[in-house]
Structure 1
Amino acid sequence: MMEFTTIKKVYFIGIGGIGMSALARYFKFHGKEVRGYDKTATPLTRQLENEGIAVHYEEDLNRIMTDADLVVYTPAVPSGHKELVYYRQHGHPLMKRSEVLGLITRSSFNICVAGTHGKTTITTMIAHILRHTGYGCNAFLGGIAVNYNSNYWSDQRNVCIVEADEYDRSFLRLSPDIAVITAMDADHLDIYGTAAEVQQAFIDFSGCLKPGGLLLSKEGLEKGADLKGDHHLTYGLETTADFYATEIRIDQGDYLFRMMSSDWSIDKVVLPMGGRHNVENAVAAIAVAHRLGIPGDKIVEAVAAFRGVKRRFEYIVKQPDRVYIDDYAHHPEELRAVISGAKELYPEMKATIIFQPHLFTRTRDFADGFAKSLDMADEVLLLPIYPARELPIEGVTSELIAGKMKKAKLTLADKKEVLDIIKDRAGNRDQAQLLITAGAGDIDLLIEPIRQLLEV
């Protein structure tokens, strides 16, 4: 079995992925030589380059690391990728991201957060609380923490906070001391086939918990009773959970609440982040922090200082008469959460959402759910499907969702047409406007142009 100390040179295929880039930063921090490939340049890959990590954007055998001790690749890379084929043919050690995380965390105390929704926010919240309070941790995040503009940091304390990814059953390689499960909804059916198989994977993940470890799951999960672990507690907004929030109120876009358990409570928690679902996420993070022995007053200070995760209910524009929120939502339940959360905070504003479906298979499998969630908005601008790793499927387009919508005003448009629509309306201040962009594809390319149009 490979030992970390023997690794000197690491090459990444797909280095620009959010999880892969965190690993690249980890190896660079520990003095390893790191280089990599990605399909396209992004702000994240540019950051890696600025940090001294060489990245190229074409399949080029002349630019790879031929003497790499370890090659890390993402499952999203096609099997025929020239560089991947070269490394396989020449016998280089190859590992997926999940295998590397398993290697790194083999001898550490691990807090692993899994779930089809909410895991990035909870992982980042926990890591932030531990960092802000001085407890310390090594963080491997699935998003960019706004407080630190990074998805990775290191600390002397041998504690790792890891976002546990269910895609490709990657999280089954981890060994949590504390495991959090946020949701077990059907997703990645191109991998799992059925909703029952998705649920079984999470049940198997709970079985990875170390002896004596804590399992914390959201109250009310279907199959929640089947999760394994001798010490299983729940969190949520209902008083039936072991940890819950009460006395929830809204004050100028912030949530104020009291954190409760059977034998302790924390008063006057202020969460400067939109969306009632994020109060629930904060409950999970606070429960973990309390479990580690962090005092309540320090937890309150840390939560109040939390600025969120990029593309997770992120405020881009926040003015009295216009608010623009961006979110990574790419599943019907995530869409429901962001739209309902935004409308709760701004009930008097007209709500318009720009949504980019992600993957043909996901659109096919959840078209009804997408239509139902999108109908919660007043108006929907629906972009073409972002294919990512997939080839087109006959009959599966954004029109599939559009045909099932019944309430919201709907326009099918490409990115240029969307910007033209926003530009035409930007000067109209007669009605307060709430705008949301959502999706996991390249819809983030619209964020800055829209911000510039709205901030006039």
Structure 2
Amino acid sequence: MNLNKIEAFYFLGIGGIGMSSLARYFHSMGKKVSGYDRYRTSLTTELEKEGIFINYKDDTEMLPKWINSSSTQCLIVYTPSIPDNHRQWIFLKKRYGKNIKKRSQVLALITKNKTCIAIGGTHGKTTTCTLLGHILYSAGKKFTAFLGGISENYQSNLILNGTEIFLVEADEFDHSFLYLSPNIACITSLDRDHIDTYPKKEALIKAYVDFYNKLENPYKKLFLCQEEEYFPYVKNNVIHYSVEEKEGDYYSNNISIKENKWYFDFHTPKETWKSLFLPIPGLHNLKNVTAALAISDYLKINSEKIRKSLFLFKGIKRRYSIHYKSRKKIYIDDYAHHPTEINALISTIRKCFPDKKILGIFQPHLFSRTKFFEKDFAKSLENLDLLILLDIYPARELPIDGISSNNLLDKIKMNYKNKELSTISKVLEIIPKKNFDILLTIGAGNIDTLIQPIKKWLHKKYG
């Protein structure tokens, strides 16, 4: 399919982070772009401000007029999260047939026969990809980046600066990344997740081996975190990186913390870069930064430009985002939705703010994930001082018998006075009654709708 000949694009699930970057991309090319999503969010509102029409009602009458025009070359882009009984989806499948593609298939078409850098892994994709995109931009590279989060530097999940290189996130959900044929790839981690797609660990490993086997010349290189050495099927064309170990082709060590700011040394195969600034704190983020630095050095980007990029990197929305800080209270929001990510987040906060009392508000994401990791979630959340547990955000799923936030709360070994359930609509009434130093909102659902009201309350109460 030649995307240049497509005049109009309709996105089913346009508010998704991956879908919205594609919508922005085609809109920037002067194409007609429209779409459906279930809810209006801050992201869909931004798309509407940019001139993209979005409807929020599952009604075929809401479809744009050009959908039924035989004179318009149209492509329907959908996410697997769209349910089978969706009325617009049923109508469009009958109407368009072959002119329907998954988001990942469209991304593969865009990057086909182009230099493609793909960042994969269970954790750290977005941080690694966004920082690498910032470095490429600062170095003047002609590239386009499709990000899995909103860059604070560019206030977008799309960076447009040319077409010599395409930088993308390689999402393992629904085997999406296997449509790509990257020249350079990175695997940041191989933790279990997306149990509906990979019910067994062997299935996940096989998918990543298949991803590795899709590497193409020129470059044909895989950057692999040294800790993933149990990934035994990958031998050739591999560049290793690590943290705190003097192993691998690239590694970072000598971490120091001064006034809550983190610094480290980065070692290339040829030299050592001393005392670099870590823009997002935490050992898990240092791994992501090390991956981005390794790829940047491999691409022969000047070390001073890289150092400056680190200092000027503002981060990603919902990745350790500090929204309020005063002498009395601190408010941090994070997208963490896996036990490993929650552990890393709380550990980082403990290092940055020792002896502070943390109130965490957690919204579990997906029934299947909650079921599989129930014990692990319980152990992770026990690291908080106080917990408010919200209802499970179902996203694309239907409820599973016996799986609920109430059941999860029972498994958390915490004094009953320090943990409680709440709905997202009631939690704002509970927060002022709690005694805490640090407030932490955690999750990948719609918990981000609490950010502005919490900030407003904190400013009003504490200045």
TM range (shorter): over 0.9
**Which secondary structure state, in structure 1, belongs to the residue aligned with residue 166 of structure 2?**
strand
Q: Does 1:154 align with 2:156?
A: no
What CA distance in whole angstroms lies between the structure 1 residues aligned with 2:58 and 2:424? 28
Deviations 1:268-323 (A, max 9, x none): 21123232211121111111111111111110000111111101111111223322
Aligned residues of 2:145 and 2:160 also touching (Cα < 8 A): yes
User: Which segment drifts farther, 223-232 or 97-106?
Assistant: 223-232
| Residues 133-158 of structure 1: per-residue CA shift (max 9 Å, x gap) | 22242010010001111000212241
Deviation of residue 228 (structure 1)? 5.7
User: Which residue does the alignment assign to 2:44?
Assistant: 45
Question: Which of these residues, 187, 199, 208, is aligned with residue 193 of structure 2?
Answer: 187
8 Å Cα contact 1:371-1:405 kept in structure 2: yes
Q: Which amino acid aligns with 2:245?
A: E
2:420 to 394, 411, 423: 411
**CA-to-aligned-CA distance 1:311-349 (integer Å, 9 cap, x gap):** 111111122332211111111101111111111111121
What is the match of residue 388 of structure 1?
A: 395
User: Aligned ranges for residues 25-424 of structure 1 at < 5 Å?
Assistant: 25-64=24-63, 65-67=67-69, 68-92=73-97, 93-211=99-217, 212-221=219-228, 223-227=230-234, 229-407=236-414, 409-424=418-433
**Matching residue of 1:11:** 10
Letter in 1 for 2:174: D
2:452 corresponds to 1:448: yes
Query: Secondary structure of the equivalent of 1:334?
Result: helix
Against the structure 1 CA distance between its residues 6 and 310, is the aligned structure 2 distance closer, same or farther, given a 3 Å change threshold?
same
Distance in 2 of aligned mates of 1:452 and 1:237: 40
Structure 1 residue 129 displacement after superposition: 0.9
Is 2:141–2:161's contact at 8 Å kept on the other side of the alignment? no
Offset, 1:260 = 1.0
Q: 1:228 to 1:95 in 2, by over 3 A?
A: farther
Deviations 1:11-38 (A, max 9, x none): 1111111000000011111111111111
TM-score by length of 1: 0.95
Contact 2:244 2:254 in 1 (8 A): no
Large movers: runs of 4+ above 6 Å? none
- The CA deviation at 1:191 is 1.7
Q: Is the 8 A contact 1:206 1:229 kept in 2?
A: no
Alignment-mate amino acid for residue 66 of structure 1: N
Which amino acid in structure 2 is aligned with residue 51 of structure 1? E
SS for the counterpart of 2:96 is coil
Counterpart residue identity of residue 109, structure 1: T
For structure 1, the residue ranges without an aligned partner over 5 or more in a row are none
Structure 1 stretch displaced more, 237-246 or 133-142: 237-246
What SS does the corresponding residue of 1:193 show, helix, strand or coil? coil
User: Using the alignment, how far apart are the partners of 2:339 and 2:202 within structure 1?
Assistant: 18
Residue identity opposite 1:248 in structure 2: I
Please tell me the residue identity of whatever aligns with 2:424.
K
Which letter maps to 2:420? Answer: T
- The runs of 5 or more residues in structure 2 that have no matched partner are none
Preserved CA contact (<8 Å) 2:239 2:249 = no
Deviation, structure 1 residue 418: 2.5
- 8 Å CA contact 1:356, 1:443 repeated in 2: yes
The 8 Å contact of residues 267 and 273 in structure 2, kept in 1 or not, is answered as yes
Deviation of residue 78 (structure 1)? 0.9
Write the deviation string for residues 206-259 of structure 1: whole angstroms up to 9, x where unpaired. Answer: 111114411111111163232364234233332223222122111233211111
Q: Which amino acid aligns with 1:117?
A: H
Across the aligned residues of Structure 1 and Structure 2, the Cα RMSD in angstroms comes to 1.6
1:9·1:33 contact (CA, 8 Å) conserved in 2?
yes
* Cα distance between partner residues in 1 of 2:223 and 2:456: 42
Identity of counterpart residues, as a percentage?
A: 42
Return the letter of the residue paired with 1:3.
Answer: N
CA contact (8 A) 1:111 1:179 kept: yes
Q: For residues 318 and 59 of structure 1, what CA distance do their matches in structure 2 show?
A: 41
Output one character per residue of 1:60-106: Cα deviation in whole Å (capped at 9) or x when no partner. Answer: 22232224521100010012221221121123400001000000000
SS of equivalent to 1:248: strand
Q: Distance in 1 between matches of 2:120 and 2:327?
A: 36
Partner Cα distance (1:206, 1:439) in 2: 30
Answer yes or no: is the 8 Å Cα contact 2:241–2:294 preserved in 1. Answer: no
CA distance, structure 2, for counterparts of residue 292 and residue 252 of structure 1: 33
> TM-score if structure 2 supplies the norm length?
0.93
